[in-house]
Amino acid sequence: MTSQIKLIVGLGNPGAEYAKTRHNAGAWYVEQLARWHNVSLREEPKFYGHTARILVEGQDVRLLIPNTYMNLSGKAVAALARFYQIEPQEMLVAHDELDLPPGIAKFKQGGGHGGHNGLKDIIAKMGNNKEFFRLRLGIGHPGAKELVAGFVLTKAPSSEQGLIDAALDEALRATDILFKQDMTKAMNRLHSFKAEKV
C-alpha cells in the first residue's frame, strides 16, 4: 500500500519577520521538500498561499504554504483541497509541536489540535474532519502556558535550531520512505530518530 497523500501543507506565518521563528517549522519542511524536488513555490492567490506540484513515485502531490496568518490556515487548505477534490485523509500537515523537544519529529493521523491555532482552523474549515496526517516537528516548550505565544514567535537559539534542522532533514528522508513504501515504515524510521546536540 503506497501513500495516498496528495497534499502536503507546511504551516507558518507570512512575512520576513516570522520566517525564522519556531512557529514556521512546518513551512521550513515544505520549503525544503520543494528544494529536494527542484520545484519553486509560487504564489497562488486563489489558494491563499504558495504552491508547487511534485511527482513522487508517479503520484501527483501538491505542496502548500498558506499566506494567511497561522490562525487562518484552514482557509488556504480548504480552498486547495476543494479545488483538487482532496480528502482530509489524503493530506499531510507539517507543524511546530510544543510537546516534543527540538530534534524529534513524529508522524500521526487524526487527533485534536492540542491548542495549535493552525490545526484548529484546518479542522474547522474541513468540516471538523480530523483524519488528516500530521508531521509534528518538535520545538520544545517554554515551561509555562503564558509564555507560549512569545516562545513560538521567536527564533530558537542556534543549539536548538541545529536539532530542529536535523529532525527536518530526517523528516524529508522519512517522507521519501512514505511514498516509496508506506506510512508504517516512514513512522518506524522517523520515530526512532533523535538529533544529538553538537
Binding-site residue positions:
18, 69, 71, 117
* Catalytic (active-site) positions: 23
* Residues paired with residue 185 on neighbouring β-strands, in sequence order: none
Q: Which residues are annotated as a binding site for tRNA?
A: 18, 69, 71, 117
CA-CA distance, 120 to 60, in Å (whole number)? 27
By C-alpha distance, which of 55, 106, 49 is closest to 83? 49
How far apart are the C-alpha atoms of 150 and 131, rounded to whole Å?
Answer: 29
In one-letter notation, the amino acid at residue 176 is D
Q: Do 11 and 70 meet the contact criterion of CB atoms below 8 Å apart?
A: yes
Q: How far is CA 103 from CA 50, 58, 75, 116, 121, in A?
A: 27, 31, 30, 19, 26
Task: Name the 3-class secondary structure at 61.
Answer: strand
**Cell reading at 118:** 493552525
